[in-house]
C-alpha cells in the first residue's frame, strides 16, 4: 500500500487493474473516454436541462445535490435521457474490471447509479466518506461489494477540486472513522480519464477554488446484485426505453436475477419486457 493512485494507459492490463484494486483500492484509467465523447456528454446534459426546466430545478436541489452542496448540480436518470450515456456506462474495460473484482461476492452485477455532477466555483470540500455508507450493515472485507467510477468530463485540477482519495483506506469496519486528511491524495485527471475505486474507499470531492472552472463529472458504479441500488433504475428508466437498450445494460439495470433475487412472476425479469 502506497500513497499514490496507480495510473494506467491503453491498452489497460487487466492484471495491473486488479492489482491496483487489491493494493490501493483505486486506479486511474488514462484516456478512458475521448475528448469528443466528453464534449458530447456535457452538451447533451446542458441541452436536456435547458429543454426541461423542471429537471433543472430538481438537479439544482436534489437530495444528493444537498449532500454535495448548493454549488453542485446533480442529475439522475441519465440512462433514459442522455443519449450518449448507455455506451459510456458500458465502457468495456470498466465493465470487465468491475465484473472481475465483484465476482468473488456475486454472480450478477448491477448499475448502482449513473449521475451527472457539476461542481461549480465555490463548491466546498466534501467530508471524506465511503460510498458504502447506506450499506453499513454489509461487512467490509477483502473483496468489495461495489465499485465507484468518477469520470472526468472536463479536466480535474487541484484548483477546481479534483477528487481526493485515501489509497488503501478500505479496511476496517463499515462505520470506521475517516482517516486523517494527511493521507489523502488528489486525483488530478485530464478530460477523459476515469478514476475507479472500491466504494468502501474513503474519498471526497475537493473544493473548487477556481474563478470560473466548472468540474463536469460522469459518476456511475457497479455493485453486487444482492444489495439495493442507490438509484432505483427500474423506476428511473421507463420500460419503453429499456427495450431499446443493449441486453447487457438491461441486465445491469435490474432485468436480471441473482438466484431467486429479482424474479418476475417467478421467472426471468426480462419476461416483463415482452409485454412492452
Ligand X SMILES: O=C(O)CCC(=O)C(=O)O
Q: Between 164 and 255, name the residue whose CB sits nearer to ligand X.
A: 164
Instruction: Compute the distance between CA of residue 49 and CA of residue 43 in angstroms, rounded to an integer.
Output: 10
Does 84 sit near ligand X (CB under 6 A)?
A: no
Q: Should residue 68 be labelled a site residue for ligand X when binding is judged by CB under 6 A?
A: yes
**Binding of ligand X at residue 205 (CB under 6 A)?**
yes
Other C-beta atoms closer than 10 Å to the C-beta of 84 total 19
Residue 68 or 233: the one with the smaller Cβ distance to ligand X is 68
Q: How far is the CB of 204 from ligand X (least distance, A)?
A: 6
CB of 67 to ligand X, least distance (A): 7
Site string for ligand X, 217-256 (x = CB under 6 A): ----------------------------------------
- Residue with smallest beta-carbon separation from ligand X: 205
Our CB check for ligand X shows the closer of 68 and 250 to be 68
Instruction: Measure the CA–CA gap between 245 and 121, rounded to whole angstroms.
Output: 36
CA distance 214 to 186: 17
Kindly state the smallest distance separating residue 232's Cβ from ligand X, in Å.
18
Among residues 119 and 198, whose Cβ is nearest to ligand X?
119
Binding mask 158-177 for ligand X (x = CB under 6 A): -----x--------------
Rounded-to-integer distance, Cα 208 and Cα 81, Å: 28
Residue with cell 492484471: 15
Residues that bind ligand X (rule: CB under 6 A) add up to a total of 7
Going along the chain, which residue ranges are E strands? 7-8, 26-29, 72-75, 109-119, 146-152, 164-165, 185-186, 194-198, 203-204, 215-224
- Residue number, 80 or 205, with CB nearest to ligand X: 205
Site for ligand X in 112-151 (CB under 6 A): 119, 126, 150
Is residue 191 within the footprint of ligand X (CB under 6 A)? no
Q: What SS3 class is residue 113?
A: strand
Contact, 113 vs 230, CB < 8 A? yes
CB nearer to ligand X: give 12 or 202: 202
Q: Choose among 166, 173, 168: nearest CA to 140.
A: 173
User: What is the chain's Cα-based Rg?
Assistant: 18
Site residues, ligand X (CB under 6 A): 68, 119, 126, 150, 163, 203, 205
Amino acid at each position: 500500500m502506497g500513497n499514490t493512485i496507480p495510473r494506467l494507459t491503453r491498452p489497460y492490463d487487466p492484471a495491473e487493474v486488479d492489482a491496483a484494486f487489491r493494493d490501493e483500492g483505486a486506479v486511474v484509467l488514462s484516456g478512458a473516454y475521448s475528448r469528443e465523447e466528453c464534449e458530447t456528454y456535457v452538451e447533451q446534459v446542458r441541452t436536456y436541462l435547458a429543454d426541461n426546466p423542471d429537471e433543472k430545478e430538481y438537479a439544482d436541489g436534489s437530495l444528493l445535490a444537498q449532500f454535495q452542496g448548493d454549488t453542485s448540480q446533480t442529475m439522475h436518470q441519465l440512462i433514459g435521457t442522455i443519449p450518449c450515456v448507455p455506451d459510456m456506462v458500458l465502457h468495456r474495460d470498466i465493465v470487465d474490471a468491475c465484473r472481475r473484482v465483484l465476482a468473488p461476492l456475486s454472480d450478477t452485477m448491477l448499475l448502482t447509479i449513473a449521475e451527472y455532477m457539476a461542481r461549480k466555483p465555490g463548491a466546498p470540500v466534501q467530508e471524506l466518506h465511503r460510498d458504502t455508507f447506506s450499506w453499513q450493515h454489509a461487512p467490509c472485507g477483502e473483496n468489495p461489494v461495489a465499485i465507484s467510477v468518477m469520470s472526468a468530463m472536463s479536466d480535474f485540477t487541484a484548483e477546481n477540486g479534483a477528487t481526493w482519495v485515501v489509497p488503501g483506506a478500505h479496511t476496517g469496519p463499515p462505520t470506521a472513522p475517516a482517516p486523517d486528511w494527511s493521507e489523502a491524495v488528489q486525483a488530478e485527471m485530464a478530460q477523459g480519464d476515469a478514476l475507479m475505486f472500491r466504494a468502501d474507499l474513503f474519498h471526497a470531492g475537493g473544493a473548487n477554488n477556481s474563478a470560473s472552472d466548472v468540474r463536469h463529472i460522469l459518476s456511475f458504479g457497479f455493485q453486487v446484485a444482492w444489495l439495493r441500488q442507490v438509484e432505483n433504475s427500474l423506476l428511473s428508466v421507463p420500460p419503453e426505453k429499456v427495450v431499446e437498450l443493449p441486453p447487457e445494460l438491461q441486465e445491469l439495470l435490474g432485468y436480471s436475477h441473482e438466484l431467486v433475487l429479482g424474479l418476475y412472476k417467478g421467472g426471468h425479469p426480462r419476461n416483463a419486457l415482452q409485454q412492452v
